[in-house]
């Protein structure tokens, strides 16, 4: 039977749409750094009943190398890597999907669009401009963007490596009603994360009353998040309200996306062992000096702060601990001494 003219026309349109889509993809990915293909990570024995672990991260051009190092570190240290699903947020998913698929061909993943317009009117400038990137605020919107079928995720920043089986973090018990779990740092001076204007206000500090425990600092780069409870409790809106206070009323803090998290969750966070966030390896927000590890066991190394290991390695001025990050670097170098396997 001959094809009707309409079918022929539709087929031709689809074909041309597809090829221009491919061209767009190629053009969009062209300006990204080039990465090697990661080895395939296979499940070990005893994974038949392993739970599916959901991990959320962001992807952008500046931190892509860090994100990929994070992904490969998670897979490399997992006993059941094939049961891990990655959920990536990017302002332009079309640009990053091909890059992820090329470096991790068998990885179950999705890239969702994070619309920077959502936060544009809510970001106030902080002490370090990198903290003001809209994508830095994407973690606030995870529960709205990731499909509702996903009830829990581990959020990871793009400047860290996991050196333990992430399944140990995944089993963090959030019952009866915690929304977030993260390592807490109760010796840090909580007062110093907010301005005098905040503390002297008759109303604002009252948000911290009635918490289960006295509020402690926690780092938002590693969080186990109950997305079902987050959605049910409308926590995105609660965080947004503090961003609006900061932007429209009074300057109540100096950092980026962290203080709203502290205001909403500090004191109600489920504590996690400190080994799951050895943060601060990037130094402070101004100088990015070398830091040493804190005492105790380590499951995750986090280069929070200004200094990033890939930048310091490239500049030929690495800190001693940056050598621990280097084996996870997937960047393809034209002058690489060792051939890719
Ligand atoms: C904590 O920080 C506040 C504000 O920066 C400061 O006034 C206070 O003295 C600090 N407390 C301690 C115990 O260091």
Nearest CA to 89 out of 54, 38, 122 is that of: 54
**191 close to ligand 1 (CB < 6 Angstrom):** yes
Give the position of tokens 């499940």: 43
Angle between helix 93-103 and helix 5-30 axes, rounded to 10 deg: 80
Q: Whole-angstrom Cα distance, residue 33 to residue 333? A: 10
Q: Whole-angstrom Cα distance, residue 275 to residue 293? A: 11
Number of the ligand 1 atom closest to the C-alpha atom of 196? 4
Determine the pLDDT at residue 294: 87
Nearest CA to 99 out of 328, 309, 331, 333 is that of: 331
Question: What's the average model confidence in pLDDT over 283-297?
Answer: 84
Going by pLDDT thresholds of 50, 70 and 90, the confidence category of residue 5 is low
Centre of ligand 1 to C-alpha 191, Å, is: 6
**196 close to ligand 1 (CB < 6 Angstrom):** no
Structural contact between residues 88 and 108, judged by C-beta atoms closer than 8 angstroms: no
Determine the pLDDT at residue 34: 93
Question: Which residue's alpha carbon is at the smallest distance from atom 6 of ligand 1?
Answer: 192
**187 close to ligand 1 (CB < 6 Angstrom):** no
* Beta strand 222-226 pairing with 152-156: antiparallel
Going by pLDDT thresholds of 50, 70 and 90, the confidence category of residue 29 is low
Question: What's the average model confidence in pLDDT over 152-169?
Answer: 98
Q: Given a cut of 90, is residue 71 above it in pLDDT? A: yes
Question: Which residue's alpha carbon is at the smallest distance from atom 5 of ligand 1?
Answer: 192
Going by pLDDT thresholds of 50, 70 and 90, the confidence category of residue 129 is confident
Determine the pLDDT at residue 249: 87
Determine the pLDDT at residue 1: 43
Centre of ligand 1 to C-alpha 222, Å, is: 26
Going by pLDDT thresholds of 50, 70 and 90, the confidence category of residue 340 is very low
Centre of ligand 1 to C-alpha 51, Å, is: 44
Domain residue extents for the chain: 53-273
Centre of ligand 1 to C-alpha 88, Å, is: 38
**192 close to ligand 1 (CB < 6 Angstrom):** yes
**4 close to ligand 1 (CB < 6 Angstrom):** no
Determine the pLDDT at residue 300: 98
Q: How much of the chain exceeds pLDDT 70, in percent?
A: 88
**189 close to ligand 1 (CB < 6 Angstrom):** yes
Going by pLDDT thresholds of 50, 70 and 90, the confidence category of residue 278 is very high
Question: Which residue's alpha carbon is at the smallest distance from atom 3 of ligand 1?
Answer: 192
Going by pLDDT thresholds of 50, 70 and 90, the confidence category of residue 94 is very high
Q: Whole-angstrom Cα distance, residue 137 to residue 159? A: 15
Question: Which residue's alpha carbon is at the smallest distance from atom 2 of ligand 1?
Answer: 192
pTM: 0.89
- In tens, the pLDDT along 193-249 reads 999 999 999 999 999 999 999 999 999 999 999 999 999 999 999 999 999 999 888
Question: Which residue's alpha carbon is at the smallest distance from atom 14 of ligand 1?
Answer: 189
Lowest-pLDDT range of 3-12, 214-223, 273-282: 3-12
Going by pLDDT thresholds of 50, 70 and 90, the confidence category of residue 8 is low
Question: Which residue's alpha carbon is at the smallest distance from atom 13 of ligand 1?
Answer: 189
Mean pLDDT of the chain: 90
Bridge partner list, 35: 331
Q: Does domain 53-273 have CATH number 3.40.5.50?
A: no
Going by pLDDT thresholds of 50, 70 and 90, the confidence category of residue 337 is very low
Centre of ligand 1 to C-alpha 193, Å, is: 10
């Amino acid at each position: 039977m001959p094809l009707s003219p309409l079918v022929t026309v539709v087929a031709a349109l689809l074909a041309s749409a597809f090829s221009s889509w491919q061209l767009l993809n190629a053009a969009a990915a062209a300006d990204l750094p080039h990465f090697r293909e990661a080895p395939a990570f296979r499940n070990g024995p005893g994974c038949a009943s392993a739970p599916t672990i959901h991990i959320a991260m962001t992807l952008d051009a500046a931190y892509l190398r860090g994100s990929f190092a994070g992904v490969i570190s998670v897979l490399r240290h997992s006993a059941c890597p094939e049961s891990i699903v990655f959920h990536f947020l990017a302002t332009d998913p079309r640009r990053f999907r091909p890059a992820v698929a090329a470096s991790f061909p068998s990885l179950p993943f999705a890239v969702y669009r994070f619309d920077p317009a959502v936060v544009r009117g809510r970001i106030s400038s902080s002490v370090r401009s990198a903290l003001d990137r809209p994508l830095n605020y994407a973690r606030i919107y995870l529960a709205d963007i990731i499909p509702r079928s996903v009830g829990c995720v581990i959020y990871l920043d793009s400047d860290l490596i996991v050196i333990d089986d992430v399944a140990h973090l995944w089993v963090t018990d959030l019952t009866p009603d915690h929304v977030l779990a993260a390592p807490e740092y109760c010796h840090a001076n909580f007062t110093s994360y907010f301005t005098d204007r905040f503390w002297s206000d008759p109303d604002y500090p009252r948000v911290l009353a009635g918490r289960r425990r006295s509020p402690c600092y926690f780092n938002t780069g590693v969080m186990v998040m109950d997305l079902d409870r987050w959605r049910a409790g409308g926590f995105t809106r609660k965080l947004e309200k503090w961003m609006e206070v900061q932007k429209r009323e009074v300057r109540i803090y100096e950092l980026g996306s962290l203080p709203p998290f502290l205001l909403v969750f500090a004191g109600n966070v489920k504590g996690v062992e400190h080994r799951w966030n050895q943060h601060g390896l990037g130094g402070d927000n101004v100088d990015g000096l070398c830091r040493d590890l804190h005492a105790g066991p380590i499951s995750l190394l986090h280069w929070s702060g200004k200094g990033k290991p890939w930048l310091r390695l490239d500049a030929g001025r690495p800190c001693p601990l940056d050598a621990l990050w280097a084996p996870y670097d997937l960047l393809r170098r034209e002058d690489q001494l060792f051939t890719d396997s």
